Amino acid sequence: MPTAIQPGSTKRATHYKATRCLLCGSGDLSLVLPLAHSAVGNDYLRTRQQQDKFALSLHLCGECGNVQIEDIVNPDLLFREYTYSTTSSLGLVEHFRKYAAEIAAQVGLTGGSLVADIGSNDGSLLKAFAERGCRVVGVDPAVEIAARATAEGVPTVPEYFTPEVAQRVRDEHGAAKLITANNVFAHSDQLPAMADAVRQLLDADGLFTFEVSYLFDIVQKMLFDTVYHEHLCYHSVRSLRSFFAVHGLQLIDARRIPTKGGSLRGTVQLAGGPRSVSPEVGRLIEWESIVRLHSPETFRTYARRIEVAKEQFGSILDHCRATGKVIAGYGASPTVTTLIDQFHLANRLDFLVDDNPVKQNTFSPGHHLPVYPSEALYEREADVIAVLAWQYAAPITAKHRRFAEASGRFVVPLPQLQVV
């Protein structure tokens, strides 16, 4: 989902290099995970054209433990003409329905309660709350998607979520009983302003809930391909608890959830609010300490694991190419862009396929591999499918069983190499 803040520092430039922590402002940043430069991960093109590449390497804040990417790309380049929609992610709409039911009970939403969603995209989450009788309002800078959501009955402000926008929403709709920000809180380089905007819009006994990629899962489960320029920060419970406390907010719950390969759902109230802090917050912070999540050595080990996976996957593809095999990459997403660059796959693939019509008949970011519908696997007589969207390997292989029955092979690079 899109970012929620318009950073003043990037209004004209294409990007800038972050020299301070986006959470606490400390200048104590150290490089911990070198990654290949990449074009904007979701910038699939209708025609081949030159694209800039930006640094993706991860840096660790020695003060609060936040992890963030090196180059901050102008959000207007990323989000104003955003093409991703929630409905294109397998299982995400159903996840949001369950999420709405769970959170509604936790917050005590009643008919007429206001729910505001930051980075609301096509309004899928807010529709689930509207079905429960809530008033809803979205904030999202993707102009066309915001207009479409509004036309479908989800009023959406086509802006970044700033304190000024929060005040405008409060003046028009009142205080929010619930504010949500799912897969968006990591998208802004103005998180202090976003936290202030949340505090400004939130009702006295309201809750702010958010979902972000969890740093522990990124390291443990080899999710380095989720590092791309939309995702600026990779959060831990330790860094988030201290961050919210500075901004008059209190992290009262933190739960690990399976979405996006491994995420964290946080729950926040106004400082001094009526709810007690869940023991889970302390447990997760303790666990992060035990596994040395914020240690540079942890990331050095991680980098070695990535290099081994790269060599193994590349070796198999090189063997296939040497024997004249046609190799198709399955997936056309930002994660695929990162994986292609990090594993040096561009010259090892003949073409890409994807099931999302928006990505079909485009060219991949940076390397301009053609992207076709998945029927091209058969029309172009692919011999090998490199499953670049590896988190969806099971449904992909199930959908294309006839490919395997015709002696085709699936090669899945992560989290461990598999040949199916």
Q: What is the DSSP string of 91-137?
A: THHHHHHHHHHHHHHHHT--TT-EEEEET-TTSHHHHHHHTTT-EEE
15-33: per-residue pLDDT in tens? 999 999 999 999 999 999 9
* Distant-in-sequence, close-in-space partners of 196: CB < 8 Å, separation ≥ 6: 163, 247
Q: What angle do CA 331, 332, 333 make, to 5 degrees?
A: 110
Contact 302, 281 (CB under 8 A): no
Task: Work out the percent of the chain whose per-residue pLDDT is above 70.
Answer: 94
Specify burial of residue 238 (Cβ count, 10 A radius: 0-12, 13-18, 19+): buried
193-216: per-residue pLDDT in tens? 999 999 999 999 999 999 999 999
Write the CA distances from 17 to 50, 189, 404, integer angstroms: 21, 11, 46
pLDDT exceeds cutoff 80 at 37: yes
Domain ranges of the chain: 86-294, 312-419
- The whole-number average pLDDT for the span 72-96 is 69
Q: Report which of 259, 242, 252 is spatially closest to residue 276, judged by C-alpha positions.
A: 252
The residue that leads in pLDDT, 408 or 6, is 408
Query: How far is it, in rounded angstroms, from Cα 189 to Cα 73?
Result: 10
Lowest mean pLDDT among 88-92, 152-156, 378-382, 389-393: 88-92
Chosen CATH of 86-294 out of 3.20.20.70, 3.30.70.360, 3.40.50.300, 3.40.50.150: 3.40.50.150
Contact 356, 332 (CB under 8 A): yes
Residue-averaged pLDDT of the chain:
92
Sheet with 156-157, side-by-side order of all strands: 156-157, 135-139, 114-118, 176-182, 202-213, 263-270, 249-257
Token couple for 127: 């529709």
Write the CA distances from 303 to 105, 355, 361, integer angstroms: 42, 31, 34
Token couple for 281: 């917050």
- The whole-number average pLDDT for the span 241-256 is 97
The residue that leads in pLDDT, 10 or 150, is 150
pLDDT at 80: 63
159-171: per-residue pLDDT in tens? 999 999 999 999 9
pLDDT at 83: 53
Q: Give 50-84 as a DSSP string.
A: ----B---EEEETTT--EEESEEE-HHHHHTT---
Query: How far is it, in rounded angstroms, from Cα 35 to Cα 82?
Result: 25
Query: How far is it, in rounded angstroms, from Cα 222 to Cα 310?
Result: 12
100-140: per-residue pLDDT in tens? 888 888 888 988 999 999 999 889 899 999 999 999 999 99
Q: How far apart, in Å, do the first and last CA atoms of the chain sit? A: 32
Angle between helices 237-246 and 279-290 (to 10 degrees): 130
Partners of 362 in the β-ladder: 371
Residue located via tokens 């609301």: 120
pLDDT exceeds cutoff 80 at 57: yes
pLDDT at 138: 97
Tell whether omega for the bond before 155 is within 30 degrees of 0, i.e. cis.
Answer: no
User: Which superfamily is assigned to 312-419 in CATH?
Assistant: NAD(P)-binding Rossmann-like Domain (3.40.50.720)
DSSP 350: S
Calculate Rg over the CA atoms of the chain. 21
pLDDT at 2: 38
pLDDT at 82: 56
pLDDT exceeds cutoff 50 at 1: no
Neighbours of 55 (CB within 10 A): 18
pTM: 0.90
At 34, which helix (H) or strand (E)?
A: none
Of the pLDDT bands very low, low, confident and very high (cuts 50, 70, 90), residue 84 is: low
